[in-house]
Amino acid sequence: MNTSRLAFVKVKILLFLSKNRQKSINSKKFINFNLLSLCGGSSGATVAAAVVEAKKLKKGQTCVVLLADSIRNYMTKHLKPSWCIERELIPDFAPEGTENWWFEKISNISSKSAIDFDCETGINEVISGLRKNNRQNAFITKGGERKSVISMSMIMERMRKLRVKKGDNVKISSFMDEKYRPITENHNVGLVMRILEANHCVVVKDDAGKWTRIIEEDDFLGYITQ
């Protein structure tokens, strides 16, 4: 038996069916099913389609569904509550021991003033500026508007993958392919902790959608220890 394809463990799993919100809602019907295999998102979409079509079957007819993919490539996505909560697929909840602060507003978290670098700035200048100002992250601007984020961690990650080599002074516009989901001051503190599990920082926006500040890990720790 290929265990990378099937994990015969009884689990309760939310099947993320597709990017379509309506199908995502339908997927919640499966959350209390005891499944015998861990499958990926495309299998979830297949099951969703099968449920719709099965309603048209006549008495005695059978519907067979093949789950073509495993969960191997989604272990850090669909199976992680934080990933689903950040994308508003399931409601947030306070882990045991955090109930007294988890749902406080992130406006209670103080952060250092944000630094901006134009997208045409070279990486050497950016690194120097981040070090000088004791920052790990900064906004990347284009035409004066904040569009993305550059971080020390991100630069190091690309160096490890040899996407940036010693002596290269690439423009930080090459880092603008990174995806961010800004949150507002009215979101809860717990969401900040969840986002920081897999991201370099948290981007905060105002009601008009403009990016206003960056919350780093040490900002969050400062809030927790105050």
Nearest to 15 by CA among 38, 3, 86, 87: 38
Please provide the DSSP assignment of 104-149 as one string.
SBGGGS--PPP-EEETTSBHHHHHHHHHHTT-SEEEEEETTEEEEE
Query: Is residue 94 included in any domain, yes or no?
Result: no
Domain hosting 140: range is 106-225
Residues in the chain: 226
The answer to whether 150 and 138 have CB atoms below 8 angstroms apart is yes
Residues 36 and 114 in one domain: no
Residues 196 and 144 in one domain: yes
Angstrom distance (rounded) from CA 147 to CA 180: 9
Angstrom distance (rounded) from CA 122 to CA 127: 9
Residues 143 and 71 in one domain: no
Residues 151 and 213 in one domain: yes
Residues 73 and 120 in one domain: no
The residues facing 11 across adjacent strands are 35
Nearest to 62 by CA among 50, 74, 77: 50
Residues 112 and 71 in one domain: no
pLDDT 10s digit of each residue in the chain, 226 long? Answer: 333 333 332 233 333 334 444 444 444 444 444 444 566 667 777 877 888 888 898 988 888 888 777 777 777 777 788 888 888 888 999 999 999 999 999 999 999 999 999 999 999 999 999 999 999 999 999 999 999 999 999 999 999 999 999 889 999 999 999 889 999 999 999 999 999 998 999 999 999 999 999 999 999 999 999 8
Residues 22 and 112 in one domain: no
Residues 122 and 220 in one domain: yes
Query: Is residue 171 included in any domain, yes or no?
Result: yes
Three-state SS letters, 156-196 = HHHHHCCCCCCCCCCEHHHHCCCCCCCEECCCEHHHHHHHH
Number of domains composing the chain: 2
Residues 147 and 74 in one domain: no
Residues 121 and 190 in one domain: yes
Q: What is the pLDDT of residue 77?
A: 77
For residue 134, what is the domain's CATH number? 3.10.580.10
Residues in contact with 165: Cβ distance below 8 Å, sequence separation at least 6, in sequence order: 159
Query: Is residue 101 included in any domain, yes or no?
Result: no
Angstrom distance (rounded) from CA 93 to CA 103: 9
